[in-house]
Structure 1
C-alpha cells in the first residue's frame, strides 16, 4: 500500500532521506510542470522545485491536515517560491539572461519535452473541467501571481469569498487529476 503523503512529510521533518526521495518521486513532475507554467523558464522551474524540496528538508514547515490536502499545500509553497524567483529575476535580470544562455547547451531531451508537455496538457484539461469562476480564480492566483486581495478587487468579491473559491478550486482540481490518474486517462 502506498504510504500517505502526511506520513512521509512527518518522516521528512525528522530527516528521513528515504521519505524525501519518495515525496520527490511522487511530486517532482507535477511541481516542475506547475513551475514551468508560472515562470515560462526551464531554469527557474527547476530551481523552484529544488527550493521546495530543500525547504521541506531544512525547515520546520507548518502543514496542517485540517487546512487542506498535502498536495494543495505543496502547490502553494511552489507558487510562492516561483513568485519569489520571478521577483528576483526582475531585480537581477542581466544575471539570469547569462544563466539562460548557458542552459542552451542543456536543452531537455525530446522525451523530457514530450513528458512535460503531456503533464502540462493534463493540468490544462483538468482546469477546463472546473466551473468558469474556479478557472478564473486558478488562473489569477496561480498562473498570474495575483494575491487573494488583488483578486477580490479585480473580481469585485469579498476577500472571504475569494479564499473559499481558491480552496474549493484546488480541491476540485485535485479530485479531477486524481480520478484521471487512477483511470489512466490521458487526454
Structure 2
C-alpha cells in the first residue's frame, strides 16, 4: 500500500500541530526548495528568499493546528503562505529602497559650514545604521508612518495586519531607534 502524498502531507501537518519537530523537518525538506524558488522568482535575492521560507515554516509551526484539510491541500496552503510572505517582503524591500533615497536626499543638502556638513553626514550614517538594526517588520511600519505619512489604521489595512500589531511594531521600533540614536556622539 502506498501513501498518497496529499494524505502524507496532511498527517505531517497533524503531527506539526502537536509540535512534532521531526514532522516539521520532513515537511521542510519536502517543500523548502520549491518555496524558495517561488520566492526567488519574485524577489531576486537569495537572502530575502531564504527569509521568506523561514517565515513560511514559522507560520506553519504556529498555525498548523488550524489547518483544515477539507478546505485546501497542504501544498496549496504552503504556496498561499509563501505568496503572502513574498509580497510582504517585496513591499518592505521597495519601501527600504525608497526610504534610503529620501534620507539621502533630505540629508544631502550642503551647508556653507564644513563642520556642519560632516556632522550631518555622520548623523545620516547613524540614522541609516539604526534603521538597519530594526527588524524588517519594524522598519517597514516606521517607514510607512514617517516617510509616507500613513496612519496606524492605514498601515494595518495596507499590510493586512491587526492594528495592535502595527502599533506594537512602531512602538518597539521607535524605542530601539531612540536608544540607538541617543547613544550616538559626534566625533
TM-score, reference length from structure 1: 0.47
Which structure is larger by alpha-carbon Rg, 1 or 2? 2
**Which of the pair has the greater relative contact order for Cα pairs under 8 Å at 6+ separation?**
1
TM, length-normalised to structure 2: 0.47
